[in-house]
Amino acid sequence: MTRALILGGTSEANLLAAAIARAGLEAIYSYGGRTRNPADQPLPTRVGGFGGANGLADYIRREAITHVVDATHPFAAEMSRNAAAACAASGTPLIAIERVPWAKATDDNWIEVADVASAVAALPENRARVFLAIGRQHIAPFGAKPQHAYTLRFVDPPEGALPFDADVIVSRGPFTLQSELEMMRTRGIEWIVARNSGGEGARAKIDAARALGLPVIMISRPPLPERTRMESVAEVMQWLGHRACLGA
């Protein structure tokens, strides 16, 4: 009897949840609790941390989870590490849906950096119009270069003061090439800071930057634990022992 735990919060996780619901499989969808009004899922849903790897192992036992699918974002490294440790400790099968990173095209102007601190360092010294498309959790270090005119994009309105003067767009995406081109042109964006999330939901800004010939400071992914990885919902449904009835 399958009873899966989906570590979600991504468009891939949402597609998987729909396929699992259609297949009539038992599963629980888990959000980390980063946004105020996360999208509804066609599965029982829980929100918030488990209390580290041990907390997750306890949850797996308590809820009689038979399979864990890590469908979190490639930068959700702590969650992925905890899932690998908890599944090893509890002997629970684990699989990850992992998006292929975006590959730099010949006409892309990317400055590839390892982390947020290097992204700050890669920005010019003289004032520029900079679009930070990295959400709310990682913007504080950019306060080291307050000379820039920043545009930020958050899923939810900011709570309280920002660490520096900035213009905030509140939008949850997915985004389109048209809307990204429009936004970058009207705001006179000169630099974009992005993370190599992969997938379709965030890539419109990368295509828009290429079209406008703008430099992108691209933050590479953190190392993730070794675990079986697949790229498609159909493969995960096979793994869960059921044919994906996508589109059925």
Cα end-to-end distance, the chain, whole Å: 23
* Contact code string over 183-222 relative to ligand NAP, x by CB under 6 A: --------------x----x--------------------
Q: Burial, 104: exposed, middle or buried (Cβ in 10 Å; 0-12, 13-18, 19+)?
A: middle
**What is the secondary structure of 23-35 as a DSSP string?**
HT-EEEEEE-S-S
Query: 153 is in the binding site of which of ligand 3Y8, ligand NAP, none (Cβ under 5 to 8 A by kind)?
Result: ligand 3Y8
CB of 150 to ligand 3Y8, least distance (A): 13
- Residue whose C-alpha is closest to residue 3's, from 33, 31, 32, 24: 24
How many residues at the interface with ligand 3Y8, by CB under 6 A? 33
Binds ligand 3Y8 by CB under 6 A, chosen from 111, 155, 162, 168:
155
In one letter, which amino acid is 156? Answer: D
Closest to ligand 3Y8 by CB, 22 or 34: 34
Query: 54 is in the binding site of which of ligand 3Y8, ligand NAP, none (Cβ under 5 to 8 A by kind)?
Result: none
* Contact code string over 2-41 relative to ligand 3Y8, x by CB under 6 A: -------xxx--x----------------xxxxx--xx--
The structure tokens listed for 169 are: 């767009």
Contact in structure between 66 and 92 (CB atoms under 8 Å): yes
The interface with ligand 3Y8 within residues 160-219 (CB under 6 A) comprises: 172-175, 195, 197, 199, 201-202, 205
- Residue whose C-alpha is closest to residue 224's, from 48, 84, 118: 84
Closest to ligand 3Y8 by CB, 93 or 135: 135
The verdict on 56 binding ligand 3Y8 (CB under 6 A) reads no
Phi, psi of 95 (to 5 degrees): -140, 150
Distances (CA, A) of 37 to 13, 143, 200, 205, 223: 16, 28, 21, 24, 29
Q: Which residues bind ligand NAP (CB under 6 A)?
A: 7-10, 30-32, 34, 49-52, 55-56, 72-73, 75-79, 82, 197, 202
